[in-house]
Structure 1
Amino acid sequence: MYLFIFAALLVLFQYVNSKNVYEADHVKIEKYKAKIEKYKDSIKTAEDKAFHFAEFSLGYSDEALNYIEKRGYESDELIALIEESLYELNLQEGSNPLVPYDAMSPGGKMIINAIRVLNHKWLICNFTDGEYWGELILRYRIGENGELSFEPIDTLMYAPN
């Protein structure tokens, strides 16, 4: 009789313990499912923002891509060529010649930091001397011999804080 009561208590204990473990795991799974849904929404929002920002980019402009391909260039190659050409201008003595401002920091020089090719004619870049910075819109042309030429359209220098 004692053995039967002991076995029944043991089975009851195991049942209650298993039920508690199952419920705890179920709660954890529900929390993870809620997090996954939240992250899916965040990813969707980020993808929408990325698409919106990529809208003004050479890679997403069919007309610009067609123009470039007719000239015999691939968009990635052209972007790399443009970036290389602009960064090489940073290496010249003094400030980058496309930046119409002189460096205001002692011993500094204005250099181009980042470049975004908007389409087959324009690009935007930012420049800085380490303390002051601004933005520059450039028109670029590809010559018959593949030589690039740049023409500043407009600039903006931000006021220091």
Structure 2
Amino acid sequence: MKKNIYLYLFIFTALICLYLAVSGSKMSTASNSRIQSLENKVDALKDSLQQSELRALEMQYFSLENNDDALAYYDHLELENPTRYISDKLLETNESKGDNPLVPYEGMENDFKINKIKILNHKWILADFSDGKYWGEILIRYELKDDLGVDFTLMDHLLYTEVTNGWLSTTF
């Protein structure tokens, strides 16, 4: 009888060991496949991040902050941030009553005001304007003088107008 108890105990222990070995193997396989899946996702995210960085660098190509030759024009003025200074001066034109004087259109819903500004180099600015419903873009030539005054000259403009199947760009 004692012999049968030891035999049953041995068989029961062997079955537990077999169960643990099989389930451990399955858990290891599942973990390895999950690790591989996560590594693939990390690789995809790295590629996506690299593409985003390249796009950001490409977008910064036409930018005063990244153009050392254009920034050299302002070395004698000792401006800490010429881009910010010029942007602030352009936004000050929004403070006049009515439409912005650089926008050659009359606002239809409200007054046209400049919203976004992209300073391309030491001579050119691209700006977006809107009245809340309608919008357009303007190309501005500017000159930063030694007395820190800024002269803005409108070079070209366009206004997007609504049509039945979408939006149409119109220049005048």
State the TM-score, normalized to the length of structure 1. Answer: 0.92
Whether 2:104 is the aligned partner of 1:100: answer yes
State the distance in 2 between where 1:29 and 1:70 align.
57
Matches within 5 A, 1:70-85: 70-74=76-80, 77-85=81-89
Alignment match, 2:143 = 141
Q: CA deviation at 1:80?
A: 1.6
Runs of 4+ off more than 6 Å: none
Q: How far has the Cα of 1:135 moved from its partner? A: 0.6
**CA RMSD, aligned part only?**
1.2
Residue segments in structure 1 that go unaligned for 5+ positions in a row: none
Q: For the residues of structure 2 that align with 1:2 and 1:28, how far apart are their CA atoms?
A: 38
Which of 31, 37, 44 is the aligned partner of 2:37?
Answer: 31
Which residue pairs with 1:112 in the alignment?
Answer: 114
2:4 alignment counterpart: none
1:67 lines up with 2:67 in the alignment = no
Asked which structure has the greater CA Rg, the reply is: 2
Deviates more, 1:95-104 or 1:82-91: 82-91
- 1:48 Cα shift? 1.3
The equivalent position to 1:52 in structure 2, one of 53, 58, 62, is: 58
Q: Report SS of the residue matched to 1:21.
A: helix
Of the three residues 17, 21, 28, the one matched with 2:23 is: 17
CA distance in 2, matches of 1:131, 1:9: 75
Question: Shift of the alpha carbon at 1:72?
Answer: 2.1
Name the aligned partner's letter for residue 83 of structure 1: S
Contact 2:126–2:140, Cα closer than 8 Å, also in 1: yes
Amino acid at match of 1:30: Q
* Helix, strand or coil at the partner of 1:126: strand
TM-score, with length taken from structure 2: 0.86
Paired residue for 1:91?
A: 95
Structure 2, gaps ≥5 residues long: 1-6, 168-172
Report if aligned partners of 2:77, 2:146 keep a CA contact under 8 Å in 1. Answer: no
| Letter paired with 2:149 | E
Distance 2:153 2:18 in 1: 84
Q: Contact 2:65–2:83 at 8 Å: present in 1 too? A: no
The aligned counterpart of 2:170 is none
In 1, Cα distance between equivalents of 2:48 and 2:89: 38
> Could you tell me which residue of structure 2 aligns to residue 130 of structure 1?
132
Give, in angstroms, the shift of residue 87 of structure 1.
1.8
Query: Does structure 1 residue 154 correspond to structure 2 residue 160?
Result: no
Report % sequence identity.
37
Tell me how far apart the structure 2 counterparts of residues 65 and 90 of structure 1 sit (CA, whole Å). 26
- Report how many residues are paired: 157
- State the shift of 1:6 in Å: 1.0
